Amino acid sequence: AATAVQPLAQSFDEVVARRVAFLTRYQNAGYAARYEKLVRRVEAAERGTAGGSKKLAEAVARSLFKLMAYKDEYEVARLYTDGTFLKRIRAQFDGDYALNFHLAPPLTAERDARTGHLKKRTYGPSMLRVFGVLAKLKFLRGTHLDIFGYNEERRTERRLITDYERLVEEILSGLSPANHATAIALAQIPERIRGYGHIKQANLVAAKASEATLLQQFRSPPASTPAIAAE
């Protein structure tokens, strides 16, 4: 008989716990705590403003995780060398085989003169050793010694995290029943920033335009109908 597949945990606390565990592997416990602390603050603020709703907290939990877990060179290296990738390959292939990786390292890749995009090159199985070293250097991520971090795309990814944290701080300071729905829409903005390279950049521009409009609405929610003063 087939073994029943256990459903993934669905409660808010369990989802947050999984993401905290992932971010700990991605960077470290401090990085994960930074995520959880802000999510829990939103959860508490929403509880005091919107009763039993968790929609804002859920939106922040998704969006902040998406931004903080951006896939850079260190993360690619970690995913290739944590054992999961090779286990999957061995399960699919028997006999002799060779691994080749099609990559466009930002520090060495040439740009296509027509499209402006980085050209991918083929690297052999020795790249796994390079990935192994690189994965151990993840502690350099975001520091002055992070040679990949000076790339414009990486700087943008880090800036998006701090921009979003500032946005959430403003939401926390001004959240009310009148602008709760707008706050949720604001918190969901990062979900629109999809893709890579020029596609991601175009989506980012559109997302920021929507954010500016929603932020204005959040700051100036519709006024409630004033009570008529007694004569």
Q: What is the pLDDT of residues 154-198, one digit of tens each?
A: 999 999 999 999 999 999 999 999 999 999 999 999 999 998 777
Q: pLDDT tens digits for 117-156?
A: 778 888 888 888 999 999 999 999 999 999 888 888 899 9
What is this structure's pTM?
0.82
**Within a domain: 88:** yes
- What is the average per-residue pLDDT within 5-26? 85
**Within a domain: 228:** no
Q: Distance (Å, rounded) from C-alpha 7 to C-alpha 30?
A: 29
Average confidence score pLDDT of the chain: 87
- 223 — pLDDT class (breaks 50, 70, 90): low
Number of domains making up the chain: 1
The answer to whether 54 touches 43, Cβ cutoff 8 Å, is: yes
Q: Say what the pLDDT of residue 62 is.
A: 98
Q: Which domain holds residue 105?
A: 73-140
Give the CB-side neighbour count of residue 7, counting CA atoms within 13 A.
4
**Within a domain: 25:** no
**Within a domain: 192:** no
